[in-house]
Amino acid sequence: SIRVQEIKLRMSVPHVLIFPLPLQGPVNCMLKLAELLCLNQDIHVTFLNTEHIQQRLLNCTDVQIRFEKYPNFKFLTVPDGLPEDNPRNGDQIRKIIEGIEEVSSPLFREMVTCASTTEKPLTCLIVDGIFTFALDVAQQAGIPLLYFDTISPCGLWTYLSVPKLIEAGEIPFKGNDLDALVNSVPGMEGFMRRRDLPSFCRAPNLDSRIIQLVIKEGKHIVQAQGLIFNTFEALEGSILSQFRALCPNIYTIGPLHSQMKAKLASQCLPKTATSNSLWKEDMSCMDWLDEQPNKSVLFVSIGSLATMSKAQFFEFWYGLVNSKTRFLWVQRPGSITSLEEDDINAPRELSESTKERGCIVSWAPQEEVLAHPSIGGFLTHSGWNSTLESIAEGVPMICWPYFVDQQVNSRHIGEVWKLGLDMKDVCDRVTIERMVRELMEVRKIEFLERAKQMSNLAIASVGEGGSSYQGLDRLIEDIRLMKI
Ligand code: UDP
């Protein structure tokens, strides 16, 4: 009976295994959640990274030192099944997911099954929503599973509507009119156009592996014990109520980076930088920002996965320069396709104006950049993390979505939340110049006021008693109650 007591005691320690999709956005998000959980000393967290991601994190950040202060935290790694030289960018998403399914998931299964007999048995799994294999693993091991979908709930909702869109004959599109409204995404009738659907809906062939994947994802996520979202009620309340009809246990805990800041402040912990970047951040742009006037700089970044052609790159450059606005531009290595390093033969007018009014870096400390008083706008690809980071800091946006949920996000930013301008599907210097002037000059005050209102709501949601604050509290309490 001493043995039985011992086992019971071991099982009463909450132990969460977190497994993100091995991409910058999800890894950043889930590491923030891991750190928020670790602040509760009774909760143990094991974070499962692919070897590739772990190596890059260790090379580019102080993650190792940062997490050393949490004795209840540990990293584990698995291979991702891809050759070392795979660029692991946006074009590779399908291969990345297939690699996880084929190579990493059997190891994950083994880990989960064996861990129930080890010193600290797992009591909860938190994994990316696209990892459909985890549902079966969790059920077999008898461990509660929470799916954390780090894309936008509004985007995920359109994924869940894909079967309806197919059934209604709305996809594949009939005819070429991308401005036609779609009616089969519940709650988005009236403003959702074909061009605002996730990029994969444009494929003429619905057998595409990605379509099959998202249909499968939709079926699986609603069977988990709960869904975690990086969003807040005041932003996406109506979408969230649609989700609650399918899966009542929803935890809204975003914006996660604001929640992190608020928690550190409330516990009087130093506001240390919490970078989870997979590229080395060039901090010199912060000094440059210090020298610019208030709200005068447009931040330009297309995130960690999107790419642009060389022609598009020059349209962007001319548009920015012709707008006469100051800009801080992230040119991620490899983000301009078919461009060799020394291939940027910039005409003199471009390089001279850029010297005067611009700053170019290969990777920026984005959260800090967006929080800087000189920033007045963000030309973004509308990735969900970037969107939330911008909203939290009250920075209006120009959206140039690339793929997946970004088309949906940018429609919401432009049309529903009125936090900026949607430039989707257009990339010419005249439009870019016009939109930059509209955001940064003509309608500057209007957009800044609107963005400030939404930022206040975001900050309130992570403050004591706010909806995301309560969401995280409830998540932590539920994790404590989960017993195998
Ligand atoms: N990011 C950064 N520095 C940069 C560009 C991006 O730290 O120069 C971060 C950004 O803060 C965000 C993440 O990378 O947290 C990008 O995630 P998002 O969901 O916006 O887009 P994705 O890269 O997944 O397309």
Please give the backbone phi and psi of residue 29, each rounded to the nearest 5 degrees, phi first.
-60, -50
pLDDT at 57: 95
When pLDDT is averaged across residues 294-306 and rounded to a whole number, the result is 97
Q: Is the pLDDT of residue 387 over 60?
A: yes
Q: How far is the CA of 198 from the centre of ligand 1 (A)?
A: 19
Q: How far is the CA of 25 from the centre of ligand 1 (A)?
A: 6
When pLDDT is averaged across residues 424-449 and rounded to a whole number, the result is 98
Closest to 281 in 3D by CA, of 328, 337, 340: 328
pLDDT at 264: 85
pLDDT at 259: 96
Q: Whose CA is nearest to atom 2 of ligand 1?
A: 366
Q: Whose CA is nearest to atom 6 of ligand 1?
A: 303
Q: How far is the CA of 21 from the centre of ligand 1 (A)?
A: 14
Helix axes 209-221, 153-160, angle to 10 degrees: 100
CA atoms of 162 and 150, how far apart (whole Å)? 19
When pLDDT is averaged across residues 329-337 and rounded to a whole number, the result is 94
pLDDT at 268: 74
- Specify the DSSP class assigned to residue 222: T
| 155-169, 207-221, 367-381, 400-414: least confidently modelled range | 207-221
Ligand 1 atom nearest to CA at 301: 5
Q: Is the pLDDT of residue 2 over 90?
A: no
pLDDT at 271: 62
Q: How far is the CA of 34 from the centre of ligand 1 (A)?
A: 18
Ligand 1 atom nearest to CA at 382: 20
Average pLDDT, the chain: 93
**Residue to mutate, 63, 257, 386, ligand 1, most ligand atoms under 8 Å from C-beta:** 386
pLDDT at 225: 97
Instruction: Name which residue leads in pLDDT, 349 or 11.
Output: 349
Closest to 157 in 3D by CA, of 134, 127, 187: 187
pLDDT at 58: 94
Contacts of 364 by beta carbon, 8 Å cutoff, 6+ apart: 281, 282, 285, 299, 301, 328, 330
pLDDT at 373: 98
CA atoms of 85 and 52, how far apart (whole Å)? 11
Q: Whose CA is nearest to atom 7 of ligand 1?
A: 366
Q: How far is the CA of 61 from the centre of ligand 1 (A)?
A: 15
Q: Is the pLDDT of residue 341 over 60?
A: no
Q: How far is the CA of 24 from the centre of ligand 1 (A)?
A: 7
Let me know: does 100 contact 81? Beta carbons within 8 Å.
yes
Closest to 474 in 3D by CA, of 234, 248, 243: 248
Identify the band that residue 241 occupies on the pLDDT scale cut at 50, 70 and 90. Answer: very high
pLDDT (tens digit per residue) in 6-53: 666 656 799 999 999 999 999 999 999 999 999 999 999 999 999 999
pLDDT (tens digit per residue) in 96-152: 999 999 999 999 999 998 866 667 899 999 999 999 999 999 999 999 999 999 999
pLDDT at 204: 82
pLDDT at 118: 66
pLDDT at 194: 97
- Specify the DSSP class assigned to residue 285: H
Ligand 1 atom nearest to CA at 257: 15
pLDDT (tens digit per residue) in 449-462: 999 999 999 999 99
Rounded to whole angstroms, what are the CA distances from 104 to 15, 84, 95, 117, 224?
21, 15, 13, 21, 20
Q: How far is the CA of 84 from the centre of ligand 1 (A)?
A: 22
Q: How far is the CA of 415 from the centre of ligand 1 (A)?
A: 23
In this prediction, what percent of the chain has a pLDDT beyond 90?
Answer: 84
Q: How far is the CA of 464 from the centre of ligand 1 (A)?
A: 27
pLDDT (tens digit per residue) in 199-230: 999 988 776 788 899 999 999 999 999 999 99
**Residue to mutate, 282, 304, 305, ligand 1, most ligand atoms under 8 Å from C-beta:** 304
> How large is the ipTM?
1.00
Helices (H), 194-309: 209-221, 233-246, 256-266, 284-290
pLDDT at 266: 84
Pocket of ligand 1 (CB under 6 A): 23-25, 28, 277, 301, 303-306, 330, 363-364, 366-367, 383-386, 389
